[in-house]
């Protein structure tokens, strides 16, 4: 990465590493691979895990719209309103994405998250591992006090990942999915709950120059992580 680019957008230098995975802020080349992965399939036909049925678009419209989505998110980033996407790699191959976001993080210390994996990479524990990496960044790296998530009541894999990492159910709400009413399950995880349920070793690098962008100038449990 060009040092001049890193000086203005240090997010490109941020890395999370677990035993099997690397998560990084995606370059445009990464985003192309991610879009192509989405076009190969994320879920079974006839079932939609997303509130917006973006995966139903034909190729190359799906890939183009995915790129536009990620570009808009990057362009809209503000320290008091951000959504951070990571591309997830296993053995150098893009297998999915993990995101988390926050509004007024400096005050609320709360993040919410979402993710997906390509179908060929599901059922191998990668979903839990990438979420655990994100939680380590949020709690240990940024000093979050609460993480929130939500999933369809019938999305067993997503709910299973949340519960296995210590999240507790926190009510429900209704949302429209492809013109139908669907019950969503809210889940939450406090800093104290996370401390007792840590399940993966996570290495963070390149965080210190990004802290201001996250609205987290003081960093997490042991100060800024380089």
Provide mean pLDDT across the span 32-50.
Answer: 91
**Residue 84 pLDDT exceeds 70:** yes
Provide mean pLDDT across the span 60-71.
Answer: 97
**Residue 112 pLDDT exceeds 60:** yes
In the chain, the domains with their CATH numbers are: 3-210 (3.40.630.30)
pLDDT at 147: 98
Helix (H, G, I), strand (E, B) or coil at 47: coil
Confidence of residue 224 (pLDDT cuts 50, 70, 90): very low
Provide mean pLDDT across the span 25-35.
Answer: 97
**Residue 186 pLDDT exceeds 50:** yes
pLDDT in tens, 149-178: 999 999 999 999 999 999 999 999 999 887
* Chain centroid offset of residue 196 CA: 22
Cα dihedral 128/131/137/138 (nearest 10): -130
pLDDT at 104: 98
pLDDT at 179: 81
Global pTM value: 0.94
Provide mean pLDDT across the span 83-109.
Answer: 98
- Cα separation, 128 vs 200, whole angstroms: 9
């Amino acid at each position: 990465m060009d040092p001049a680019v890193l000086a203005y957008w240090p997010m490109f230098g941020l890395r999370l590493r677990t035993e099997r995975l690397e998560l990084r802020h995606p370059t445009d080349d990464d985003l192309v691979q991610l879009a192509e992965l989405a076009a190969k399939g994320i879920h079974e036909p006839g079932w939609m895990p997303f509130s917006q049925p973006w995966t139903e678009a034909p190729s190359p419209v799906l890939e183009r719209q995915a790129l536009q989505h990620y570009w808009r998110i990057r362009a809209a980033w503000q320290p008091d309103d951000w959504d951070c996407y990571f591309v997830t790699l296993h053995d150098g191959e893009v297998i999915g994405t993990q995101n988390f976001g926050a509004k007024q993080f400096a005050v609320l210390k709360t993040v919410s998250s979402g993710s997906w994996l390509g179908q060929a990479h599901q059922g191998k524990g990668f979903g839990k591992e990438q979420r655990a990496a994100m939680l380590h960044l949020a709690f240990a790296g940024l000093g979050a006090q609460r993480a929130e998530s939500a999933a369809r009541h019938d999305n067993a894999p997503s709910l299973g990942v949340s519960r296995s990492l210590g999240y507790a159910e926190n009510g429900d709400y209704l949302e429209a999915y492809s013109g139908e009413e669907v019950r969503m399950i809210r889940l939450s995880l406090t800093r104290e709950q996370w401390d007792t349920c840590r399940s993966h070793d996570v290495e963070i690098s390149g965080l210190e120059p990004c802290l201001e962008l996250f609205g987290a100038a003081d960093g997490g449990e042991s100060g800024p992580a380089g």
